[in-house]
Amino acid sequence: MQSNCGLSDPIVDQVIDQLDGIFCDLNILFYMTLNFHWNMEDPRFIALHKFLDGQYHEMVELIDGVAERYRKLGCIVPASMKELANGAKLREPSGQPSGDEMLTILAEAHEHMIKKVRAAVQVTADLGDPGTADMLTAQLRWHEKQDWMLRSHL
Domain locations along the chain = 9-87+98-152
pLDDT in tens, 40-58: 999 999 999 999 999 999 9
Predicted local confidence at residue 2, as pLDDT: 59
| Cβ density class 93-126: b for 16+ within 10 Å, e for less | eeeebebeebbbbbbebbbbbbebbeebbebbee
Q: What average pLDDT does this structure show over 78-99?
A: 94
User: What percent of the chain is modeled with pLDDT above 70?
Assistant: 98
Average pLDDT in the chain: 95
Distance of CA 153 to CAs 44, 52, 93, Å?
Answer: 10, 12, 20
Side-chain half-sphere CA neighbours of 63 within 13 A: 17
Long-range (24+ apart) CB contacts under 8 A made by 77-81 are 77/23, 78/20, 78/23, 78/24
Q: Which CATH architecture has domain 9-87+98-152?
A: Up-down Bundle (1.20)
Grade residue 4 by pLDDT with cuts at 50, 70 and 90.
confident
